[in-house]
Amino acid sequence: MTDLDQLTPTRAPHDAAPVDLQWYRHELEQQRRFRLDQLTHLSYAALAASDDALSEVTATLMRAARAALADVDAALFRLAIGRFGDCQHCGRAIPEDVLRAVPTVSLCPRCQLSKGSAYPVLRARRTGTVPSTSSSGPPRDIVEVWGEDSFPASDPPANW
């Protein structure tokens, strides 16, 4: 067993405290309100932008805020269906300290490393490439459950 295997338990120990889902729901809802407010302010800034450079910066910030909002909505969805804290790739439990740091995380450390999505800045330094900032849309399992037309997010997946 490697050190990485020990970071990602297959299930919580019997004496481990249960995950406080109410705390995560509160945190995620707070993040969602923040992102919606941010998008509102950026929309007004985009309307008031007078030059191309400012318009481009505002558009980039709006894309990033939409991607963050999509991550929050996906985490709230996983919480609603009882899959919050489970890796979306392998099904293992995501360590509590990782969830506390990033409640929107959907992959355990092992799967993040195997998919090459962990530590994009370090990977960029090593390879000399800049990590992509484009969003590929919502996780497919969420769209498959809810469908494109009834997605519960503030922005439908077609707009991502």
How far apart are the C-alpha atoms of 27 and 30, rounded to whole Å?
5
Name the percent of the chain lying above pLDDT 70.
Answer: 61
- pTM given for the model: 0.62
Residue with more model confidence, 7 or 47 = 47
Residue with more model confidence, 145 or 37 = 37
The mean pLDDT value for 137-142 works out to 52
Amino acid 104: pLDDT? 95
Residue 55 CB partners (closer than 8 Å, separation 6+): 46, 49
SS3 113: helix
pLDDT of residue 133 exceeding 50: no
Q: What is the mean pLDDT of the chain?
A: 75
Residue 21 CB partners (closer than 8 Å, separation 6+): 79, 84
CB 36 within 8 Å of CB 130: no
Confidence of residue 123 (pLDDT cuts 50, 70, 90): very low
How far apart are the C-alpha atoms of 78 and 88, rounded to whole Å?
9
What confidence tens digit (pLDDT) does each residue in 18-62 have? 568 999 999 999 999 999 999 999 999 888 888 888 889 999 999
SS3 104: coil
Q: Among 12-16, 34-38, 74-78, where is mean pLDDT lowest?
A: 12-16
